[in-house]
Structures are given as C-alpha cells and as structure tokens.
Amino acid sequence: MRLGGRTRRAWKRKDGMNKMQHQPAATQATTELEFGDSHGHLCSERADEWADVFAANMKAQRVRKATLSGVGLFTPDQDELVLRAYERHPERFIPFLCQIDPDDTASTCYIDQQLPRAPWGGVGEVFLNTSGLVYAQPLLLPDGTSRPFRYPVPKDGAACKVFRFMFDKCAEVGKPVWVHCEHAMPLWTMLKRHPRTPVLWAHADYVTPPEDVRHLLDAFPNLTCDFGPGLRIVQGQLAAEEKLPSVLRRMAEWKGIMRDYPDRLTLGTDIIKWQSMAAYAKTYELYSSLLHDLPPDSGRKIAYGNFRRLVERQP
C-alpha cells in the first residue's frame, strides 16, 4: 500500500504557551462534555506538585481520566515517578510504562513482569520513529537544571525485537501500545504484523500527512489516533492571522477525519512543561469548539467514549 503523503516538518509553536499558571480556571466551553486526555506526561521538575496541578486542571475542565507517562529514558526513575503520581491521584491518572530501552533486550523481561500488573494501563509513550534525534527544547531535571532529551528510537526500526515483544505482550494482556511515529510506513509495518494489538498513535495530527492517517485507519481496525496537539498549533497560527492556505487546509482535513472516523479518535494534550500547563483550559476550549459541529454522539465518542473503551477498557 502506497502512503501518498509527504511527512511535513513540525509546525512551529505559536500557541501562546508562555506564561506559568498554577491555578485552574473552569470554562463554560467544557461544561457540555466530559473528556479523557489520551496524552498526559509527567514533568520531572517538582513531579509531585506537577501531578497535583495536573489533576486540579483536569477536574476544572471536566477531564475524567488521563494517560500518564514519563518521558522515555530521560531519568532512570520515570516509571517510579509516574506510579507516585498515580498514588496521589488514582481517580485521575492511568499510568503507562515508558522506561524501556528499545536496544536492550533485557527490556523484554521488564515488560513481561510489569505490564500484566495493576495499575499499568499499557506501554507508552514509546518512540518508533521521529524526524529528529533530539526533542526541540531542553527538559528540566528534578534539581531545576535542564538537558536535551534524546528520543529512545530503536536502531532497527520496525524490526526491533523489543518492540515486537512489546506489541505481542500488549495483545496478550489486552492493553494498548501508545506509540510515537512521525512517518507512517514503520507504523504500517507494526500494525500489519500485530493485528490483535490495540495501538494508540500519539499526536497523529502533528506532522504526518492526513491522507496517510486515513490510509492507516482504513487498513487497521486495531488503530486509534490520539490527536489535538497539532491542531492546537494550527489554531495558534490562525489566531495570529496566519491564514495561509496550508494552515486552513490542515484544519479542514482534520475536521474531515473527525467527521469520518468518530469511533477511532481520542483527544490528548501532550503537555510536558510547566509553562505549557497555563494553556490547559484554552486547550479544552479549542477541543470543545472542534467537536461542536459534529453530531452529538460523535462528539461524545471523541471526547471521552473512545478513551474509556480503549484505555479504561470499559464499554
């Protein structure tokens, strides 16, 4: 199957996420729907405080549950921090295993031991493919210093033994793999090889061409797309009067995907820094507006229903 799109460069962030805000503010826009956040991260700096602020913002915006992941191999205690956040707010967070070295086969033992156990909801966010090797901005460490985050991408790509084991184990226990993949072909390969594995495609609206997203959704019923962060950037460009044809087209293309695949989409925030938390309320104002024009049942599925089915494994 030929994937017709050309992977685009990541959208430049112009979403106004530049002020720290610790106090959540309820907005009228989110009172009509309940949400699930399918892309939640833990910030290593003041991790306990981050969990408390995150949970408070979720409550204010009617976000019932969020997946919660560390950031790959950024520090050696990412999964431990995630479990601690879950213990502080078990009513809000669903923890995911992320501290997995794809190039170390010993990781298969860790997955095998931990994944079947409660409270782990799945594996992720794991990185199958990225456009660059290093995250765009340094991330903060627990001591307040920062350093670059290098994506833990497998050297062997879709042939990686750890990834193959991970996908098989998730199929066995019925828990999703939450996977970051910016080029469609490696994900196509994994989905074709593992048709029983529930897969959550992280921020599928970010750089992958929408036509490739459609191809994969049509071909693989076990695929669900987490989206929202890319459209948040597009919305920032529109607000800045950058009504370029490419920007308008991308928003229209994703509105079409929402209309055509209401059973296959979840909304996530991908907030990873303190200064980004200030935009949590505005993010859900945008998401509510995106769902406003859909049939009510479709809007409810995308807002929370699909998350509940895939991640919470509830009907």
| One-character DSSP codes across 188-201 | HHHHHH-TTS-EEE
DSSP one-letter string for 19-64 = S---S----GGGGS--EEEEEEE--STTHHHHHHHHHHHHHHTTEE
Looking at residue 263, its pLDDT comes to 98
Going by pLDDT thresholds of 50, 70 and 90, the confidence category of residue 22 is very low
Q: Which helix (H) or strand (E) holds 106?
A: none
Q: How far apart are CA 56 and CA 50, in angstroms?
A: 10
Band of pLDDT at residue 274, cut at 50, 70 and 90:
confident
Residues paired with 35 in a beta bridge? 63
For the stretch 162-185, pLDDT in tens is 999 999 999 999 999 999 999 999
Over residues 205-217, mean pLDDT: 95
Residue 312 CA: distances (Å) to CA of 41, 64, 67, 88 = 17, 11, 10, 19
28-310 belongs to which CATH class? alpha beta
Domain ranges of the chain: 28-310
Which amino acid makes up residue 34?
E
Q: Which amino acid is at 194?
A: H
On the question of pLDDT at 19 being above 70, the answer is: no
> What confidence score (pLDDT) does residue 133 get?
73
